[in-house]
Structure 1
Amino acid sequence: MKSFLVKSVLLTACMVSLFHGKAAAESETEWSLNCAKYGAIKPNENPTYQHINCLLTNAAIQADIPPEVVKGIATKESDWRQFVDGKPFISNDNGIGIMQITDKTLPDEQQERLKNDILYNIETGVRILNYKASLTTLPHIKGAGRDIIENWYFPVMAYNGVVQVNSPLFQETGEINHEAYQELAFVKIEKESYMGDTVLARYPFEVKDFKYVDKFIEFLQPEYIVQGVHETTIRLTEGDRVITTKDKVNLRKGPGAPCVEKVLPINTPLLIEGPFEFDETETSRNQFVWFPVKTVDGLYVGYVSSAYIEKQVDTVPPVDETSPEAPVVNEVTDSSVEITGTARAIINR
C-alpha cells in the first residue's frame, strides 16, 4: 500500500517538474505508445507480461527513474496485476491496481480511473515515487545520481511510508530489518532484474542514524558513502562497451530465443549494437531486457540479457611520480650534432 500523501492538487501542480518538463498528457501518451506493437489494452484484462514489462520500463524512463526500481515496486505491490478475475485488484488495505495506489481523498472519477486504467495507475505510481525522491529530508548516497539503483533505497521506503516498521535496522539490536518494505522491494530487484546473480550494495547503517518520533522516522545522517553500487543498464546505447558479469552467459540469436550463438565467459567485452528489446515470448516472466551485441572481434553477434552485463569503464592508471619514465629524444641521424629530449624528474618522498 502507498502512503499517497501528495494530494491531487499538489500532484497536478508538480506533474511537469516530476516528468522533467513534459506536460502530463504528452508524457502519458509518449511512453505508452512505445509499447504499441503489443496491441490495444483490453478492459478488465491484464496485458501480457512483456507488454507490462514494456509499460513499466517506458514509464520509468520517461520519469528518469531506473526501470529496475519501478519493476521491483510493482512486483512487491501486486506481482504486476491490475486485475484479478476480471475485476480491479484491490488489496485488504485498499491499495488499487498494479502500483497499489491508496488515497481515499481522491475524487470518485480518479478512483475509478486508478482501478480500470493500468496506464494511469502506473503513471500515478511513478509520479508518487518521483515526488518522494525530491524530498530533502531523505538521505542519499554521496555523489550518486538518479541512475544509481541503490540511491533509490529511501524513496522506495517513502513510497510505502517513512515509519518505524520500515526502519533499516531494529533500534533495540542493530540487526537488519529484512521485512522493511524497501528491503523486500530490493530483494525483488535482485531476483528479477538481475536473476539473483547480483547483490545490491548495502548502506553502512548504524542505529544512531535514526530517531523515532511517534511511529515515524527522523533521519540524522543525511548522506552515506556506499561502495559497489550499480548503475541501471537501460541507458546503454549503440557503441557502448560492456562486459559480462558472470560466467557462462548465453549470447542468444534473438531476445530470449532458445538458440544460443555462443557461451561467453565472465568479463567478456562486448559492443552494444542498438536499443534494448523485450523478450520475444510475450508470456515470458523475465523482467530484464535484451541488448543486441557483438564481440569486439566481430565474430559473434546476438542478444544478451541486461541482467548479466555492465558498462565497461575505461580507467587510466594514475601517474607514479616516484618511478622513472623513459626519456623522449629527438630523431637522431648521421648529421645530428646534438641530442635533445625530455624526461620526468623523480620526486623523492
Structure 2
Amino acid sequence: MGIRKVILIVAVVYILYFNHVISFGEEIVTQERDYMNLELSFIDKDLDGENETEIQINRSTKEISIGDNIIDYTGYLSNILYEDLTKDGSLEIIIAVKDEGTSSYLSYKIYDIKNIEDIRVIFERNNIYKGILEIHEGKIIEKTPIYLEEDSNAVPSQYKISEYIYSLEEEGFIIDIESFKNIEELEKEQPEKDYYIYYENPDRSEIEALIEEVAMERAIPPIILKSIAYTESNLRQFKNGKPLVSFDGISYGIMQVTPSIHREYDEYKLKYDIRYNIEAGADILLSKWGYAFRSKPLIPQIGDGDPRIMENWYFAIWAYNGWSECNNPNMIPYEHKTWVQNKAYQNKVLDYAESEFGQQITKIDKNDLPETGLPDKYEMFATPQPYHICELNTYKYGDIVINMTKYGLSLRNDDWEKIDALSPRVGMMVVNGPALHNGYIRYKVSPIDENGELSTGWVAMNWIKSMRDSDFNGNGKTDRYDVEEIDKHRNDTSTEDMIRFDMNYDEMIDYYDVLLVDKKYEISSAYEDYEVFPTKTGVSYRKDWIIKFNQELDSKTVNNENIYIKNRENGEAFTSFVELLNDNKTVKIHHPSKGYTTGNTYLIVITKNVKAYNQKELVQPVIMEFVVD
C-alpha cells in the first residue's frame, strides 16, 4: 500500500458503482453486476468535533484518498478503522485487506494522518493466514488460527490472540498480551443469531453424490472437487446446527466460498443451499483452471491442458487456496505467524484424493519447482507420470444439450474464433466432437431455433447439459406420442410436470420445449427403418472397411450409390471406391485419398438397392456410425 500526492477537488458527496465477476476467459458471457465502488465521507481527525478530513474509497482502482494523498492497496478491502491508538489526540487510520483464495491472508497498515501533508505508515503486519483484526479500547487485537494436521481449512483446533499497544518509550507498537484458546471458546464469543432451524448435514454418501453430479456437469474430475471440499470443510455445510463459517468469518459452507470477494453469489444461499455452494466452488475452481489459458496466464499450464487428466489440475488446486508461496512444496515446512504449515495445500488435497476416495494422483515433482517463491506463470510443465484419466460426460451426434449459462455461451468456428454468443437455455444438437482446445473439451453444435438463423459452431462442454429425457412412454425412443404428450402439458406449472416436461430447465413448459422434443423425434426417426450397428470408435483415418454378406451379390448393385460413407455432421457423401472381392460375398470400401478427418463422425450406409445374385433385397438397410481417432 503506497502513498502518492494528487490534486483532488470534490464538490459533492457521491457514490458510483463497479463490477466484479468470476472470469472464464471468453468461454461464457458474463453480466456485470453493480456494487458500491466510490464512497466519500468525512472524519473528525483532530477529535475537535468537526468532520474536516475527507476520506474517499475507490474499490475499482483500489485507492483510498485522504486529502491530496492516495493510498494504493492490493487484494480486497476488508475493513477501514479509525482510532486514536497513539493517544496523541488525533485519529490513526487502519486499512485491512484480504487476498483472494480460501487462505484469505490478512494484511493491514496503520497510518498517522495527524499531518495531512505527511501521511506515513507507523505499523504494519502482512500475510496473516485467515487473520482477524479488531480494535478495542486503544488496542490492536489479532486473532490467528493454529491448525493441526487433521483440521479442515475452515475450522482450526486453536487460535492465538495477540494484543498490541502503542509504547511511548519504544515509539511504536509492542505486544502487550499473548494468549491461546480452543476454537470452541471463540465460537462462544460470537454474537448469538436467531436460528430457528437446526440444520444437519446429509449423509456423506449423499454429499459425495451431489459433488459428483455438479462436477460432471461442470466437466471437472469429481475426485478433484470432492477432495477440495474435504480439505476445506470435511464435507460439511453446517456445524452445530448452523452454517459452517470460516475462522475469520468471511467464507461459508462446504466449499468455503467468500461472498465479499465473489460478489456474484448470494450470501444467504451460500450458507444454506448445499448444491448452490458446491456449484459456486466448482465455478471458482474452473476460473482458476482458466488462469493457465489466458493470453497473459496467471498460473503455468500442465501438459496439453486436457482437463480429463487429473494431474493437470495441480496449479488450479493450488490457486483455489491462493496463489501463494506458502504452497510451494520446496518451502515446506512454511512458518506462518502462528502455525507451521507442514504440507502444501494442493498436495494435501491430492493426498485426500487417495486416502479418502481411493484415487492416486501424481504430484508435480518438487525438483521441477523453484526453491522459493512461485513457479513462472509462462512455464509449460510436463504432465506428471503416471497420469490418471477421468472419464467426463460425453455426447454423440444427435444428442440435444442445453446452454446452462446465466448470460450466454461463446460459439466458435473451426478456426476457434468467437463468432456468436448463444442465449441461456437454448437447445443445441451435437454434430461433432469432442475436441480439446485451449484447456476446454468442446463439441460442435447446431443451435435449435424456429427460424434456423443461428450458426453451427463449437462450445465448451463445461456449461452444457443433456436435455431432459423425452421418452415419456418408456418405449426406448422419442416418437410422435412424446411430441403430442408434451404439447398437452404446455403452460402447466406443477412441480411434477416441471421435472418431467421442462426440457431446457427454464422453469416453464412452453412451445420451445415442444420444439426440442420434436427435433429429438426427427433425429430418432431419421434411420427408423434401418438396422443400426453399434458405433465404432478409435478408427484410423486411413481405415478400409470390409463388409461380408451371407450370399453372393449382384455386382451391378455394388457401387458407391448403394454403399457409401458420409460425414454425419454435414451429410456429405464420399465418392469412395467400393470393390466387390473375388468371393462375390465381400465388399471393400476404400478410404478417401486424403483419409478421414480426425475427430469427425461418419456413417456407413448400405441401402436396400444392394441385391443378392438371385435379386433378393436386404431385409433392412444397414447403417453404422464410426468415429475417427
> How high is the TM-score relative to the length of structure 2?
0.29
Other structure's SS at 2:225 match? helix
CA distance in 1, matches of 2:324, 2:312: 19
1:84 deviation in Å? 1.0
Residue identity matched to 2:326: V
Does the 8 Å contact 1:210/1:220 carry over to 2? no
1:120 deviation in Å? 1.4
CA distance in 1, matches of 2:362, 2:226: 18
1:142 deviation in Å? 1.7
Q: Percent identity?
A: 29
Structure 1 residue 10 and structure 2 residue 10: aligned?
Answer: no
Q: Do the aligned partners of residues 208 and 99 (structure 1) sit closer, same or farther apart at CA in structure 2, a change above 3 Å counting?
A: closer
CA distance in 1, matches of 2:265, 2:351: 35
Does the 8 Å contact 2:300/2:376 carry over to 1? no
CA distance in 2, matches of 1:192, 1:207: 27
State how 1:62-101 maps to structure 2 within 5 Å: 62-94=217-249, 95-101=251-257
1:230 deviation in Å? 0.4
Does the 8 Å contact 1:201/1:227 carry over to 2? yes
Residue identity matched to 2:390: T
Does the 8 Å contact 1:81/1:98 carry over to 2? yes
Instruction: Report the equivalent of 1:35.
Output: none
Number of paired residues? 207
1:86 deviation in Å? 1.1
1:210 deviation in Å? 6.6
Q: Do the aligned partners of residues 8 and 72 (structure 1) sit closer, same or farther apart at CA in structure 2, a change above 3 Å counting?
A: farther
Residue identity matched to 1:183: N
Structure 1 residue 230 and structure 2 residue 388: aligned?
Answer: yes
> How high is the TM-score relative to the length of structure 1?
0.50
1:191 deviation in Å? 1.3
2:321 to 160, 173, 188: 160
Residue identity matched to 2:382: Y
Instruction: Report the equivalent of 2:290.
Output: 134
Other structure's SS at 2:330 match? coil
Does the 8 Å contact 1:211/1:220 carry over to 2? no
Residue identity matched to 1:130: L
Instruction: Report the equivalent of 1:180.
Output: 344
1:64 deviation in Å? 0.7
Q: Rg bigger for which structure?
A: 2
- The structure 1 segments of at least 4 consecutive aligned residues displaced by more than 6 Å after TM superposition are none
2:280 to 91, 108, 124: 124
Does the 8 Å contact 2:330/2:372 carry over to 1? no
Instruction: Report the equivalent of 1:300.
Output: none
Residue identity matched to 1:9: H
Does the 8 Å contact 1:73/1:185 carry over to 2? yes
Other structure's SS at 2:283 match? helix
Residue identity matched to 1:84: K
Instruction: Report the equivalent of 1:54.
Output: 209
1:164 deviation in Å? 1.0
1:78 deviation in Å? 0.6
Instruction: Report the equivalent of 2:330.
Output: 169
State how 1:235-314 maps to structure 2 within 5 Å: none
Other structure's SS at 1:206 match? helix
Does the 8 Å contact 1:204/1:224 carry over to 2? no
Residue identity matched to 1:224: A
Residue identity matched to 1:229: Y
Other structure's SS at 2:253 match? coil
CA distance in 1, matches of 2:289, 2:368: 23
CA distance in 1, matches of 2:370, 2:214: 33
Instruction: Report the equivalent of 1:255.
Output: none
Q: Do the aligned partners of residues 234 and 220 (structure 1) sit closer, same or farther apart at CA in structure 2, a change above 3 Å counting?
A: closer
Residue identity matched to 2:267: Q
Higher strand share: 2
1:102 deviation in Å? 2.2
1:143 deviation in Å? 2.7
Instruction: Report the equivalent of 1:102.
Output: 258
1:190 to 332, 338, 354: 354
Instruction: Report the equivalent of 1:221.
Output: 379
1:227-247: per-residue Cα shift (whole Å, max 9, x none)?
21001155599xxxxxxxxxx
Residue identity matched to 1:71: K
Higher relative contact order (CA 8 A, sep 6+): 1
CA distance in 2, matches of 1:116, 1:15: 30
1:106 deviation in Å? 5.8
Does the 8 Å contact 1:211/1:218 carry over to 2? no
Does the 8 Å contact 1:82/1:118 carry over to 2? yes
Structure 1 residues without counterparts, runs of 5 or longer: 1-6, 24-41, 238-312, 317-330, 332-349
1:138 deviation in Å? 1.7
Does the 8 Å contact 1:211/1:219 carry over to 2? no
Does the 8 Å contact 2:233/2:256 carry over to 1? yes
CA distance in 1, matches of 2:364, 2:229: 23
Q: Do the aligned partners of residues 208 and 227 (structure 1) sit closer, same or farther apart at CA in structure 2, a change above 3 Å counting?
A: closer
Q: Do the aligned partners of residues 15 and 99 (structure 1) sit closer, same or farther apart at CA in structure 2, a change above 3 Å counting?
A: farther
Q: Do the aligned partners of residues 208 and 220 (structure 1) sit closer, same or farther apart at CA in structure 2, a change above 3 Å counting?
A: farther
Residue identity matched to 1:10: V
CA distance in 2, matches of 1:234, 1:92: 35
CA distance in 2, matches of 1:232, 1:9: 32
Q: Do the aligned partners of residues 17 and 207 (structure 1) sit closer, same or farther apart at CA in structure 2, a change above 3 Å counting?
A: closer
Q: Do the aligned partners of residues 183 and 22 (structure 1) sit closer, same or farther apart at CA in structure 2, a change above 3 Å counting?
A: same
Residue identity matched to 1:160: N
CA distance in 2, matches of 1:65, 1:210: 30
1:259-298: per-residue Cα shift (whole Å, max 9, x none)?
xxxxxxxxxxxxxxxxxxxxxxxxxxxxxxxxxxxxxxxx
1:218 deviation in Å? 4.4
Higher helix share: 1
Q: Do the aligned partners of residues 43 and 114 (structure 1) sit closer, same or farther apart at CA in structure 2, a change above 3 Å counting?
A: farther
CA distance in 1, matches of 2:24, 2:264: 21
1:123 deviation in Å? 0.7
Structure 2 residues without counterparts, runs of 5 or longer: 1-17, 32-196, 293-297, 335-340, 396-536, 541-581, 583-629
1:217 deviation in Å? 5.8
Structure 1 residues 66-75 or 218-227, which shifts more? 218-227
